[in-house]
Amino acid sequence: MTTIAELLLRRTDDDHVALYEGESTWTYRDFAALCAARAVYLLERRKSGPFHIGVLLDNRIDFPLWIGACALAGATLVGLNGTRRGQTSSGISTTVIASL
């Protein structure tokens, strides 16, 4: 099975467009580099225990960048649902203890 990290690493020299957002574009090379920079950020701040990264983001450019960063860093991305409120939200976020 191919991992997300392996897919990213295969594209580090690829200048084809990978992502579009509005009028902005990112090549696979750009995308992989931005993911790698975020992966370094995560690894520098890693705490002992499970390597879970909680994110509360819209489905915009930052979301796939953090997916890639977590893949490269060996972390598990935990997408938090912004529509959850109160006890439900609290229960979910305390059940999945995020490192960051």
Distance CA 4, CA 24 (A): 23
What is the per-residue pLDDT across 2-23, written as a single tens digit (0 to 9) for each? 999 999 999 999 999 999 999 9
Distance CA 59, CA 49 (A): 28
Query: Which domains does the chain show, CATH number per domain?
Result: 4-95 (3.40.50.980)
Whether pTM > 0.85 for this model: the answer is: no
Burial category of 15 from C-beta neighbours within 10 Å (exposed 0-12, middle 13-18, buried 19 and up): exposed
What is the per-residue pLDDT across 30-89, written as a single tens digit (0 to 9) for each? 999 999 999 999 999 998 988 999 888 888 899 999 999 999 999 999 888 777 665 555
